[in-house]
Structure 1
Amino acid sequence: MKRSTLKAWFLVHKWTSLVCTLFLLLLFATGLPLIFWEEIAHATGAEPEAEPVPAGMPRANADQLIEKALARYPGEVPLFFGWDDHGPMVYVTTGARPDTPPPEMHSVILHEYTGEILPAPSFNEGVMYFIYRLHTDVFVGLAGTLFLGAMTLLFVIAIISGVVLYAPFMRKLSFGTLRTGKSRRLAWLDLHNLLGVVTVAWALVVGLTGAINTLAKPLEQSWQAQQLGELGDRYRNAPKPSRFSSVDAAIAKARAAEPDMKPAFVSFPGTGYSGEHHYGVFMHGNTPITERITKPVLVDVETGELTAQPELPLYMSILLLSQPLHFGDYGGLPLKLLWALLDLITLFVLVSGLYLWAKRGSTETRLKELESGLVSEAPAGAMR
């Protein structure tokens, strides 16, 4: 590699690492408990449990369940009605107005068959929600989310540039070599390099899916504008609905229209998911992969007629698949444990990168070391 090229990669790696590492420490530290959010909720009693369903009992009427939830929060309107994947439970999300932001929403969990209201904390309260907000938007909304997305993109660039710089190092030493008999800095550097390159594929996956997830709101808005735009034109001059047809009937129509899928949630008009004149009954599959992909069935809220079944664009499918992959939520507890181990290793790589940067020499000295192949800049966060 030419010296000018080596220096360019070196500077890219150095400054992308330097800018993003502190934020990555926050993201990986908060991401660790979020991997086990469901398990923590179950262990602490924060996750409600429903009694088994008696044989032959029919589901409760969705409209009656919604009315029960609204009685808990008088004056609010329904926003979402959805199904829990871990038992015969449904949730009703309410707010003061259709465009209520998530931190101001309320939720009620009910037994899907008996209609009993189950004790459960609100989804936007508690320690885990605090950690979630730190991880996703540092409590400043979309601007914070997009900023963290930019930091994850810098992380990806740092990984790629680190791999490029690691290549000369591999030509001089056997893989896994730890030179513990020399300086402490050199031993830290070897361990940092080794752990960085071992986790490089996983770090790229987590970094890229994290960046994609930060674009969720803009992508959803784009889909709503493009895919629902034509439908909206038909209702452009129509007044807002004065009466709402049965949600239960809308769900039944969606089940009949997509018999090989099951409902995931229903969005109400004005929430941004189904326009101003429709229920959006979002259906999903039954396998670990297809259950992440939703297909909307739009039902007119006044007439109760099925209006459209628009297909999700590719970018929305990528978004929906990347969200669970980011937290290892595809293969149950074993995959989550692997994700947690790799998360801890990456935290060590980041911290050791800070240590190595604190003990750095001059840029010229580091370049000479790189050219000699004696030491190397490391992937995934090494900072000199």
Structure 2
Amino acid sequence: MSPINVRRWSWIHKWSSLVCTVFMLLLCLTGLPLIYHHEIGHLLGNDVEAPSMPANTPRADLDRVIAAGQALYPNKIMMYMSQELDEPAIWNLTLGNHPNDEQFKSIAIDARTAKFIAEPPIEGGGFMSLMFHLHVDLFADMWGKLFLGFMGLLLLVAIVSGVVLYAPFMRKLDFGTVRRGRTARLKWLDMHNMLGIVTLVWLLVVGTTGVINTLSDVLLKVWQFTEIAEMTKPYQGQPAPTRLASMQTTIARAEAAEPGMKVGFVAFPGTPFASPHHYGVYMHGDQALTSRLYKPVLVDAQTAEITDRRKLPWYLTALLVSQPLHFGDYGGAGLKFLWALLDLATIVVLGSGLYLWLKRGRAAKAAARQAASDNAGRAAPVLARGHKL
């Protein structure tokens, strides 16, 4: 690589890194506890568990389940109901004053007895909520997400430029060499380069998935204004139903239409994942990957007839795959531990990069002062001779 190209890539690497480093450090520090958010939630006692019953205990009618939740908050309406694969004995109900209520109530109802279990804490405060919002949107909603997405793009630029510079830098050194007998700055430079290459693939994966995740609000809006609008077009102009169809019938028909799939969550009419005239029944598989991929089934909220069902567009599939991959949620405890180690290594990479820049700045200033002092020293005898003259 020519000296000009090296200087150009060095400039790109330096400034793309410097602009995003502080924010990437914040994301790494907040991301570390989020990798273990399930485990931390369990330690904090936030998990809700259903009473122990025989495995063959029959499930309650879903309309009874909904009625049990509404009995606790009779002035609120149903927004969503969902079920986790690892806890099929619980239906989680979300109720609010209107379909887009952000001050909703979350209720856990036993799927077998239709009895109230608990009201799980809503993430409105506390340590994990703070970590989540700092990591996801900086408490600035969509604009915070888009800003962090831009920082993620700069990180990807820094990674690519760092790889380009790594080859000529390591031409005379063995891979992973850390020169310890020289200056501290040189040792940290070698450490920065070595850990940067070791974490390269992980950084690309986490950086790319992170950028995709920051676009979640935009991608959902695109989907709602395109495919959902197309799926519900025949209902435009019609009044919203005044009486909703049986949820038991609705779920039974959705499961019959998609054999081998399970209900992930149901969006009630008027919510962002449905329409004013439909239930949105979102089905998924039962494997590590397919459990993250949803297939929407739109059901007429008045007649319980299926009106449309189709696969999600590619951009939403990419989003749904990116979300768990970003936090290492696919491979159990082993993958989470690896994610945590690589996160810590990335903190060292970012911190050492910042240290090297600060150290180089001080060295440059010291060199400039020394050069000025040397020039002054050389000029003094000349001025003295001139004065004598």
TM-score where L is the length of structure 1: 0.90
Partner of 1:113: 112
**Aligned-pair CA distance for 1:115:** 2.3
Hey, what's the Cα distance between the residues in 1 that align with 2:261 and 2:363?
58
What amino acid is the match of 1:36? Answer: Y
Any gaps of 5 or more consecutive residues in structure 2?
Answer: 366-389
Any conservation in 2 of the 1:47–1:120 contact (CA below 8 Å)? no
**Aligned-pair CA distance for 1:106:** 2.1
**Aligned-pair CA distance for 1:26:** 1.0
**Aligned-pair CA distance for 1:89:** 1.4
Rg (Cα) greater in structure: 2
Hey, what's the Cα distance between the residues in 2 that align with 1:170 and 1:197?
11
Any conservation in 1 of the 2:278–2:298 contact (CA below 8 Å)? yes
Please state if 1:304 is matched with 2:304.
yes
The CA deviation string for residues 319-361 of structure 1, in whole angstroms up to 9 with x for no partner, is 1111110000001011001000100110111111111111015
Q: Call closer, same or farther: CA 1:73–1:19 in 2, change over 3 Å.
A: farther
Hey, what's the Cα distance between the residues in 1 that align with 2:70 and 2:135?
31
Hey, what's the Cα distance between the residues in 2 that align with 1:128 and 1:119?
20
Any conservation in 1 of the 2:296–2:310 contact (CA below 8 Å)? yes
Any conservation in 2 of the 1:111–1:118 contact (CA below 8 Å)? yes
Higher deviation after alignment, 106-115 or 160-169? 106-115
Question: Secondary structure in 1 aligned to 2:274?
Answer: coil
Partner of 1:60: 60
Question: Secondary structure in 1 aligned to 2:99?
Answer: coil
Hey, what's the Cα distance between the residues in 2 that align with 1:143 and 1:63?
39
Hey, what's the Cα distance between the residues in 1 that align with 2:21 and 2:218?
25
User: How many residues were matched structurally?
Assistant: 363
| Structure possessing the higher relative contact order (Cα contacts under 8 Å, 6 or more residues apart) | 1
Hey, what's the Cα distance between the residues in 2 that align with 1:325 and 1:94?
30
**Aligned-pair CA distance for 1:11:** 1.4
Q: Provide runs of 4+ in structure 1 moved above 6 Å.
A: 362-365
Hey, what's the Cα distance between the residues in 2 that align with 1:173 and 1:355?
22
The CA deviation string for residues 5-64 of structure 1, in whole angstroms up to 9 with x for no partner, is 222211111111111111111111111111111111122211111123325422122222
Hey, what's the Cα distance between the residues in 2 that align with 1:121 and 1:290?
27
Question: Secondary structure in 2 aligned to 1:353?
Answer: helix
Please state if 1:253 is matched with 2:253.
yes
Any conservation in 1 of the 2:85–2:286 contact (CA below 8 Å)? no
Any conservation in 2 of the 1:111–1:117 contact (CA below 8 Å)? yes
Partner of 1:313: 313
Question: Secondary structure in 2 aligned to 1:171?
Answer: coil
Any gaps of 5 or more consecutive residues in structure 1?
Answer: 366-384
What amino acid is the match of 1:206? Answer: V
Q: Call closer, same or farther: CA 1:155–1:338 in 2, change over 3 Å.
A: same
Q: Call closer, same or farther: CA 1:79–1:19 in 2, change over 3 Å.
A: same
Question: Secondary structure in 2 aligned to 1:228?
Answer: helix
> Alpha carbon RMSD of aligned pairs, Å?
1.8
Question: Secondary structure in 2 aligned to 1:298?
Answer: strand
What is the identity percentage for the equivalent residue pairs of Structure 1 and Structure 2?
49
Q: Call closer, same or farther: CA 1:33–1:55 in 2, change over 3 Å.
A: closer
Question: Secondary structure in 2 aligned to 1:359?
Answer: helix
**Aligned-pair CA distance for 1:132:** 0.9
Higher deviation after alignment, 196-205 or 67-76? 67-76
Partner of 1:218: 218
Any conservation in 1 of the 2:60–2:113 contact (CA below 8 Å)? yes
Hey, what's the Cα distance between the residues in 2 that align with 1:17 and 1:73?
51
**Aligned-pair CA distance for 1:312:** 0.9
Hey, what's the Cα distance between the residues in 1 that align with 2:22 and 2:75?
44
Partner of 2:325: 325
Question: Secondary structure in 2 aligned to 1:360?
Answer: helix
What amino acid is the match of 2:100? Answer: D
Q: Call closer, same or farther: CA 1:202–1:142 in 2, change over 3 Å.
A: same
Partner of 1:336: 336
